[in-house]
Amino acid sequence: MRSHGQPAWELLLPAAGAPARRRGLALQEALRKAVRSGRLAAGTRLPSTRALAADLGVSRGLVTEAYEQLTAEGYLRSDRGSGTWVGGAARGRHTGSTRARGVVQGPVGGETTASGPVSGVSGPLPGGSGVRVDFRPGTPDLSLFPRSAWSTAQRAVLARLPHPALGYPDPRGLAELREALAGMLTRRRGVVADPERLVVCSGVAQASTLLGFVLRARGLDAIGVEDPGSPEHGRLFASTGLATVWLPLDEQGLRPEPLAGSGVRAVVVTPSHQFPSGISWSAERRAALLDWARAVDGYVLEDDYDGDFRYDRAPVGALQGLDPERVVYAGSVSKSLAPGLRLGWMLVPEALLGEVVERKRTMDLGNPVLDQAVLAEFVARGAYDRQLRRCQRAYRERRDALLAALAEHLPGTRVSGIAAGLHVIARVPGRYGPPERFLARAAEAGVALRPLAEYGTERPGDGDVRLVIGYAHLTPSAVAEGVRLVAKAVGGG
């Protein structure tokens, strides 16, 4: 790359008078594009933050932030002392011959009570009826749905939609929605989103089923899932004939050796804010996963179930942006608007597109058009961004209420995965009782809790109580009341 004069991406930056935040985002997007297009080849060393800031006439802080953001997303890597480089982990490092194979999960029975990122389906509670506070994750705050704005948009849509739009739909979705979503996702999630590759679907659950059927028809018989992860993924893929293989996570993401040894050629992951652990995958693990996918000619389903909600910094860009031909990206409005809309999207690699669209066609001929047109209005007019900001503010406040209540009433509890999303992991010290008794007492007190054990195969024997606590659907006072009730029941403060 040129280290003097104007770098190639300078053209994309807003004029110097534009707000710093907009210039910063534009710099990040210009860098992403330059890496993707190959203008910045893998292995290239980037100029120092000081030099680039001077070149571009922006503050050094903006450049530092851009480097950090793209490093988190896996576009760049940073070696302490030796600067910033294009590309993530070195290739081929993780193609070891470890035979460690995950636990094979057959057509799923048993675990029908857990809920995950792709579904809010909740089973009966251990304690029966009389739930006062429900901390089970998976549901957003339905009272935040913008009824009045949605109603106005509905009326506008019915007034302007041409008659033919009411006919049998394009199974890929309404053209105006695909265009609006492609723009929004490029901007917000750093994906590579061509409207021609975007398929509107009923949500991440349907995206999973669509992809499952396509992969099954191509001869795959299993798909890897994160451990811990969402049992719902397993149930959905089982319905398409694919077995699921649990693949262990550590604090950085999927561990490369068990993945390589598993024999699967497809995985479903939640790298932005892993469900349920709450970690954000490291740049190295993102790169390693894509290396693996290319090596086995495989595919990755990225379930970006809550990628829009990040509280203490900018959201980490989606994995799909790093390799749109290996990653199927799926998201929905279930957490941002309402699950009842059953409206979502997938970005599909070229090689799978025809098969996915034909599956969508035979499954339902395409999504209903009116809600699609309303969402297109919403996105195009900025109402969707406003809704996301509104949710983000509300959810951050609830998260803070939860952290404060845990610190006050159950001191000693360690909380993780707090930077983003609609839930946290809480590890309550064993002194509040062994897990079974803790959960039973909470249930008796009318508080529904979901133990982490329901989301995977690990069973640490340290006596601590690990919980997946969903807070987004509860008011701050309900959050505090729930924690207080639990603490009282288990003898806490």
Interacting residues with a second copy (CB under 8 A): 119-121, 138-139, 142-143, 145, 147-148, 150-151, 154-155, 158-159, 163-169, 201-203, 205-206, 209, 235-236, 239-240, 334, 338-343, 358-359, 361-371
DSSP code of 167? Answer: S
Least separation in angstroms between CB 275 and a second copy: 16
Q: Could you say which DSSP state residue 196 is in?
A: G
Amino acid at 263: G
Cβ closest to a second copy, residue 66 vs residue 210 = 210
| Minimum distance of a second copy from residue 434's CB (angstroms) | 32
Q: How far, CA to CA in Å, does 298 sit from each of 288, 324, 363?
A: 13, 12, 24
Residue 341 C-beta: closest distance to a second copy, Å: 6
CA–CA distance, 299 with 290 (Å, rounded to integer): 9
Nearest to 154 by CA among 369, 371, 343: 371
Identity of the residue, 100 or 161, whose beta carbon is nearer to a second copy in the bound complex: 161
**Strands (DSSP E) found in 380-460:** 414-416, 423-428, 447-448, 450-451
Distance CA 162, CA 175 (A): 13
Structure tokens at 36: 């993707």
CB of 479 to a second copy, least distance (A): 17
Phi, psi dihedral angles at 43 (to 5 degrees)? 95, -10
The minimum distance between CB 164 and a second copy, in angstroms, equals 7
DSSP alpha helix (H) spans, 38-104? 49-56, 60-73
Is residue 431 classed exposed, middle or buried when 0-12, 13-18 and 19+ CB atoms within 10 A define those classes? exposed
Smallest separation (angstroms) from a second copy to the CB of 209: 6
Would you say 69 or 209 has its CB closer to a second copy?
209
Report, in Å, the least distance between residue 350 CB and a second copy: 21
Q: Which is nearer to a second copy, 262 or 367 (CB)?
A: 367
Nearer to a second copy, 125 or 369 (CB): 369
Picking from 191, 225, 194, the residue whose alpha carbon sits closest to that of residue 208 is 225
Q: What is the number of H-type helices and E-type strands within the chain?
A: 14, 17
Shortest spacing between CB 159 and a second copy, in angstroms? 8
Q: List strand residue ranges (DSSP E) for 272-429, in order.
A: 299-303, 327-332, 344-347, 414-416, 423-428
Give the Cβ contact number of residue 247 at 10 Å. 26
Residue number, 76 or 422, with CB nearest to a second copy: 422
> Token pair of 54, please?
């001077």
Nearer to a second copy, 278 or 339 (CB): 339
Q: Which is nearer to a second copy, 347 or 374 (CB)?
A: 374
Contact between 239 and 209 under an 8 Å Cβ cutoff? The reply is: yes
Residue 148 CB contacts under 8 Å (≥ 6 apart), including other chains: none
d(C-alpha 412, C-alpha 421), whole Å:
23
In the complex, the smallest distance separating the C-beta of residue 324 from a second copy, rounded to whole angstroms, is 25
Q: What are phi and psi of 344, to 5 degrees?
A: -155, -165
Question: For residues 363 and 478, which CB has a smaller minimum distance to a second copy in the complex?
Answer: 363
